Amino acid sequence: MTPDPVRVLAAGDHFVLPSLIADAVRQEHPADVRQVRLGWPLEPFGAVAEVSEASDAEDELIEALGDGREVLVTQMGPVTARVLAAAPALRLVVVCRGGPVNVNLDAAKSREVRVCYAPGRNAAATAEFTVGLMLAALRRIPQAHIPLAGHGSWEGAAYYTYDRAGLELEDLPVGLVGYGAVGSRVARVLGAFGARVLVHDPYVRGEIHGLRVDSLDELLRRSRVVSLHARLTTETRGLLGARELALLPEGAVVVNAARGPLLDEDALCAALASGRVAAAALDTYAREPLPPDSPLYGFADRVVLTPHLGGASRAVAEKAARIAAAEVGRWARGEPLAHCLT
């Protein structure tokens, strides 16, 4: 006998498309899927009511859930107390990202709504992007590209002089702060380049690709490049500040494609101005979008800046939809959920 279709709202966006979610869900279980497309990333996310990092679309979600949807699959939908109160039939929320920061977990729990997420969906993409940022900063690729592509100037050839030439990864000591799904992949790639990989992560046990360093201070003293891969917590906010950056060797390079608040941007700018840090490559920032008055813009000749693109690959969107759909299928069949917080 064919099981009854589950009533799903696929509230996708311009990255995790509603159609990707709908197709993946239907492959897992018979489903009546309603599709809604939210504005991200063409419209910025931010705090919405009591949740963070969400699209400003409470009214849109309430309207779309109002016909008795049992399941919501979304990436940026604001699952606030107001939204949950307006959707009494809702029983499962699946967020297509590494954590449900756009969900009021207390309100969901009080209404017996299960909340799942999609860990690991962007680990490979972010690791690859991190290494790309590292190479771009070390070899001055954007700074050489812009004058040549923009107005046909060969001035970037000045980076072939000894004083301005970049560093290569082979034999370079590269310190990784954090060794989770992204950091461990970066370590393996850097090993293939021949870099001397140093790792600091007090929460990881067992074998690693590189040399384990017990203290962050020691890692910083020994690293010509430092790359951040830690989770953002109360303890790790501002992990690299003025004191820590002062421990780096003169002319070091800082890379952050993890979370912006891990790094004190004012301290980084001071270190760039003093020459303690020769270059930096950043994909995430304390405030996003990066404000137009950010002092980071004053170091365009030594800083690579990208607008939080580390996880922007088509494979990530497809993986996120599949991971979310698998949770919907488990829930519909009455099986244990794999990545559930409530």
DSSP state, residue 10: E
DSSP string, 305-339: E-SS-TT--HHHHHHHHHHHHHHHHHHHHTPPPSS
Beta bridge partners of 114: 92
φ and ψ at 282, to 5 degrees? -130, 135
Sheet of strand 114-116, all strands in order from the earlier edge strand to the far edge: 31-37, 6-12, 71-74, 92-95, 114-116
Could you give the C-alpha distances from 183 to 126, 251, 276, 282, 302, in angstroms and in order?
9, 23, 24, 16, 24
Contact present, 137 and 301 (Cβ < 8 Å): no
φ and ψ at 9, to 5 degrees? -105, 120
Q: Cα–Cα distance between 46 and 174 in angstroms, integer?
A: 33
Contact present, 278 and 252 (Cβ < 8 Å): yes
Residues with catalytic roles: 259, 288, 308
